[in-house]
Amino acid sequence: MIQTDALVIGAGPVGLFQVFQLGLLGLKAEIIDVLPQAGGQCIALYPDKPIYDIPGVPLCTGRELTQQLLTQAMPFMPADAPSAKPRNLHLGHMVSELQPQADGGFVIHADKGLQVNARAVFIAAGAGAFVPRTLNLPGLAQASNVHHFLHEADEAPAPWAAQHLVIHGGGDEALSAAISIAQHPDLTQRPARISLLHRRDQFQADEALDAQVRELIATGQIDLIVGMPSEATVEQGHVKALQILGADSQTRSVPLDHLLIRLGMSPKLGPLSNWGMALERKQVAVNTASFESSIPGLYAVGDINTYPGKKRLLLCGFHEATLAAHHAAAAVHPDAPQHLLYTTTSPLLHERLGMARK
């Protein structure tokens, strides 16, 4: 059981900024996300697309914004080594149950056994927990060589290195993955063969991505397979081949070593809908003075919340996270003076930032 002041559910941009704001106010926070990497929608849906409406940042990508927010929150996300994952960042965990405690706090359970006892909980889950869309073929869910995310650990061999990788999809996620894998700077990380599987010879992707993939197909670096998967051959927990139904109504077998399914992400409210909060159209209704839900101590910030005049913009989520942090600080430490401090002039804030870095 992890004991902490606050738990932030969602490691997207608003969740990362929430950790920073809580840290400035002297609250320790744990952060949890169902995805295998921080960044939320920015990483899952548009890691390399431009974002133009972050104050003071004329242009950045979702990946760059995530990295900047991680760097900003680093004083309050301690790690055992500079390159190690922060100890309070728990990725690949789906929050399942929330139990209010008699003292006003909460015990939160996740699907892989993680348990957190927190005085306050902040839901920053965007439109919900993003889970990958997959193929509804028997045996795929249990197959160990079926993937939905890119390999992140460059220091270790990619699972599909020097093997035949089939990438399924025709949108931005699939094409960007195909390009990234085919052009990986470390030749030892590349597959021996890459096949891009899509239902037709026409993609639903950004024009620049489309052009890059067409060039890789033309030069033989990627094979294009047109058709729909109708069946999977699964042996001892491994997919050995896909049966592909072509436009000519003929089925052919495509052997493979690894299958990377890139059909986008689907947001699901999931267990949060059973926590007893007031909901409006699958969003958490909040008080705009505190961004607290109908349950005291349980806050909702970012796209997951709703209130009159709500705008689903990142900068609005950052504003909500700031006000929610201040309200929670007063609730967690009711006897402490609540002064508005500025990072430009406050010795206390400088001390917190400096001490956290050591």
The HSE-up count of residue 120 (CA atoms within 13 Å, CB side) is: 28
Asked if the domains at 2-130+266-357 and 134-263 fall in one CATH topology, the answer is yes
Structure confidence by residue, pLDDT tens digits, 325-344: 999 999 999 998 888 999 99
Q: Is the pLDDT of residue 210 over 70?
A: yes
Which of the two residues, 158 and 320, has the higher pLDDT score? Answer: 320
CA dihedral sign, ordered 168, 171, 173, 174 = positive
Give counts: helices (H), strands (E), the chain.
7, 22
Percent of the chain with pLDDT over 70: 97
Residue 252 has pLDDT above 90, yes or no: yes
pLDDT tens-place string over residues 45-95 = 778 788 999 999 999 999 999 999 999 999 999 988 777 889 999 998 989
User: What does the pLDDT read at residue 35?
Assistant: 86
pLDDT tens across 8-32, in order? 999 999 999 999 999 999 999 999 9
- Mean pLDDT (the chain) is 91
Per the CB < 8 A criterion, the answer to whether 66 and 42 are in contact is yes
Query: 2-130+266-357 architecture in CATH?
Result: 3-Layer(bba) Sandwich (3.50)
- Taking only the tens place, the pLDDT of each residue in 343-356 is 999 999 999 998 65
Q: What is the dihedral of CA 224, 228, 233, 239, to 10 degrees?
A: 50
- Taking domain 134-263, whether its CATH number is 3.50.50.60 is answered by yes
pLDDT of residue 129: 64
Listed by start position, the domains of the chain span 2-130+266-357, 134-263
Distance CA 89, CA 115 (A): 13
